[in-house]
Amino acid sequence: MTPFPCPNFIGGEWRTPDGATTPVYNPSTGDVISHCPSGGAAEVNAAVAAAQAAFPAWSETPAVERARVFFRYRQLVEQNFDRLCQTASREHGKTLAEARGSVHRGLENIEYACGVPTLLFGDTLENLARGVDCETLLQPLGVCAGITPFNFPAMVPLWMFPLALACGNTFVLKPSEKVPLTANLLGELLDLAGLPKGVFNIVHGGRPAVDALLTHPKVRAVSFVGSTPIAKYIYETGTRHGKRVQANGGAKNYIVIMPDADVPRTVEALSTAAFGCAGERCMAGSTAITVGAAAERLLPSLVTAARAIKVGPTDRPAQPDMGPVITAQHRDHVLKLVASGEKEGASILCDGRGVKVPDAPRGFYLGATIVDNVQAAMTLAREEVFGPVLNVMRMDDLDRAIELTNQSAFGNGAAIFTNSGKAAREFKHRVKAGMVGINVGVPATMAMFPFTGWDDSFYGDLHIQGREAVQFYTQQKVTTTRWFGEGVGDVWKK
Ligand code: NAD
C-alpha cells in the first residue's frame, strides 16, 4: 500500500519536510499507513512566523466575517463527515460508530464558534461615576498553539482551534504523531472554507516541536490535552516562558453503583463507559465501586455483557463492537497492569487478554476485561490504564465509596447510579471531580460547557470549551470614559 502523505501546513502551503519520521499505524491490522514528520524548531519557527504575519489582518476582520468562515467550515465538515470518521477510525482503531460520535462532538465546537459575535460581547456600566461610563472589551491574544493526544484525532483539535480562531487569534496545531492524518484533513477543510493563509498552521512531530512552541516568544497561549506527566510539564514550561496555559491531563474515573440502581440500564452504561473506544477515553469509567448488595445484583449481567463484546478490525464494512488499542507497546503496557493486579491479589472475572482476531492477526487487540476485588493500594487501582479494563472495588456504604473516590490523585469525572435522590445529592455535593454524572456513565461536557477536570487531570485556570475558553483565548480591556464640556461639533445643546 502507498503510504498516505503527511505534510505540514505552514503559511497556507502543504510541505513535506526532509528528515526523520515516525510510523503511523493502522492499529486494526498493524500495518504502517503513513510516516509522520518529526518537526522541530525550524518548522515551528516558520509556522509561528506565518501565524504572526497573519494576525494583524485576521484580528481586524469583523467577528461576523470570522464567524462566516466557521459557518462554511461547519458545512464542509458535515459534507466530509464520513471521510473524517473513516480517517480517524483507520489511524486510531475506534469503530465507525465511535468515530461518528466524536466527530459530531467536534462539530458542535465549530457550531459554538459560529456564535462568536455574541460570545465576544463585553459589559458596560453607564454612570460608573457622574458622567463616567465603563466598558469591557475582549480582544484576541495573538498566536496560540494546540498540542493534542491520540485518542480523539478530530474532536480534541476541534475543542481548540475553531474558537481560538473565531476569537481573532492565529493558531499552530501540533497533533499527536500517532494520528496526524485526521488533523491534516481538518486543516484541508479549513483552507477550503476560505481562511486566509497563515491563520491556521499544522506542524507535526513530538517533543522537539512541543518544546519549540513552549519556548517561542511569540506564542501567547498553549492548549494541551494528553497524559498527566506531560500536562504538568507543559504547564510548568509554558508558564515559565510567560504563556497562558490550559493543560488537561489523564484520569481515573470512578462509577459508584448503589444497591437500588436499575440493573439493565446500569450494566449498559457501565459497559459503554468502561469498554467504549477500547477504554481509551479520559472520561472512561474505569473503576466500578459497588456498594453493598450492588455487586451481587450487577456483576453477573456485567460479565455476560463484557463477554459478548465482539473485538475486531474497524477498517472494513462489518464493524465490531470494539476495536484495537493504539499500539502494540500500549497493549503490552495494559497487559502488564492487569498482571500486576492479579499478582497483588485481585481476581479476573472476565479475561480479555487472550483475545484472538483471526482475520487481523497483527492488530493490537485486547478483549474486555473485568478485575474484581481491586484494592486501593494496587498499581492497577492508582494508574490510568487507558485500555478496556474495568476494576471493581467493593464498599459497604456510600460514605466509604465517596471517600475512596476522593482519594484519587485525578479529578476528571465521577458518576453514581442510583434511584435515590438523597444518595445522588450527597455524591454530587461531596465528590472531588470536575464532571459528575448521575445515572450517566460518561459525563463529558458538550461544547457550551467547560471541560472541568480537577487536580492532576488539569493544570491551569480557564478550562477548554464554553465561556471559560472564550476568556482563555482573549484578553480583557476595560475602558473608563468621561467627556468634558462642549467640544467643536458639540451641537446637541443648541
Ligand atoms: P501523551 O501525553 O503521550 O501525548 C500528548 C501530546 O503530547 C502529543 O501531541 C505528544 O506528541 C506530546 N508529547 C508526548 N510526550 C511528550 C514529551 N515528553 N514532551 C513534550 N510533548 C510530548 O498522551 P496520549 O498518549 O497521546 O493521549 C492519552 C492521554 O491523554 C491519556 O492520559 C488521557 O487521559 C489523556 N486525555 C485527557 C483528556 C482530558 O480532557 N483530560 C482528553 C483526552 C485524552
CATH of the domain at 151: 3.40.605.10
113 and 258 assigned to the same domain: no
488 assigned to some structural domain: no
489 assigned to some structural domain: no
User: What pLDDT is recorded for position 485?
Assistant: 75
Q: Is 226 in the pocket of ligand 1 (CB under 6 A)?
A: yes
Task: Print the domain residue range for 122.
Answer: 8-249+457-479
209 assigned to some structural domain: yes
21 and 124 assigned to the same domain: yes
Which atom of ligand 1 lies closest to the CA of 458?
A: 41
> Which residue among 438, 467, 489 closes a domain?
438
Which residue has its alpha carbon closest to ligand 1 atom 11? 206
Q: What is the pLDDT of residues 104-120, one digit of tens each?
A: 999 999 999 999 999 99
Grid coordinates given for 117: 459575535
91 assigned to some structural domain: yes
CA 447, CA 104: separation in Å to the nearest integer?
11
182 and 204 assigned to the same domain: yes
236 and 258 assigned to the same domain: no
Contact 451, 467 (CB under 8 A): no
CA 314, CA 453: separation in Å to the nearest integer?
30
CA of 217 to the centre of ligand 1 (A): 23
Q: What is the pLDDT of residues 448-472, one digit of tens each?
A: 999 999 999 999 999 999 999 999 9
Contact 288, 415 (CB under 8 A): no
492 assigned to some structural domain: no
264 and 383 assigned to the same domain: yes
Q: Is 253 in the pocket of ligand 1 (CB under 6 A)?
A: no
The DSSP annotation for 131-178 comes to TEEEEEEEEE-SEEEEE--SS-TTHHHHHHHHHHHHTT-EEEEE--TT
Contact 106, 69 (CB under 8 A): no
Residue with cell 493543560: 247
CB atoms within 10 A of CB 188: 16
CA of 190 to the centre of ligand 1 (A): 24
3-state secondary structure of 368: coil
User: What pLDDT is recorded for position 487?
Assistant: 66
Grid coordinates given for 293: 448488595
44 and 123 assigned to the same domain: yes
Strand partners, 143: 170, 219
Q: What DSSP character marks residue 386? A: -
Which atom of ligand 1 lies closest to the CA of 251?
A: 34
136 and 229 assigned to the same domain: yes
* Mutation probe of ligand 1 site: the residue of 92, 215, 227 with most atoms within 8 A of C-beta: 227
408 and 461 assigned to the same domain: no
* Mutation probe of ligand 1 site: the residue of 102, 210, 331, 333 with most atoms within 8 A of C-beta: 210
Strand partners, 414: 254, 436
324 and 236 assigned to the same domain: no
Q: Is 177 in the pocket of ligand 1 (CB under 6 A)?
A: yes
Q: Is 151 in the pocket of ligand 1 (CB under 6 A)?
A: yes
Q: pLDDT exceeding 90 applies to what percent of the chain?
A: 98
Which atom of ligand 1 lies closest to the CA of 231?
A: 2
3-state secondary structure of 452: coil
* Mutation probe of ligand 1 site: the residue of 25, 105, 176, 364 with most atoms within 8 A of C-beta: 176
User: What pLDDT is recorded for position 316?
Assistant: 94
411 assigned to some structural domain: yes
Classify the C-alpha dihedral 372-375-378-380 as positive or negative. Answer: positive
Which atom of ligand 1 lies closest to the CA of 205?
A: 11
Q: Is 30 in the pocket of ligand 1 (CB under 6 A)?
A: no
CA 31, CA 377: separation in Å to the nearest integer?
38
184 and 288 assigned to the same domain: no
136 and 277 assigned to the same domain: no
3-state secondary structure of 45: helix
Residue with cell 472494513: 316
User: What pLDDT is recorded for position 142?
Assistant: 98
240 and 262 assigned to the same domain: no
CA of 231 to the centre of ligand 1 (A): 7
Which atom of ligand 1 lies closest to the CA of 150?
A: 26
322 assigned to some structural domain: yes
User: What pLDDT is recorded for position 492?
Assistant: 56
2 assigned to some structural domain: no
CB atoms within 10 A of CB 371: 25
Residue with cell 492548549: 223
Count of structural domains within the chain: 2
Q: Is 107 in the pocket of ligand 1 (CB under 6 A)?
A: no
pTM for the full model?
0.97
Q: Can you list the residues of the chain whose pLDDT is less than 70?
A: 486-494
3-state secondary structure of 243: coil
CATH number of 337's domain: 3.40.309.10
Between CA 221 and CA 453, with CA 219 as vertex, the angle to 5 degrees is: 20
Strand partners, 202: 9, 173
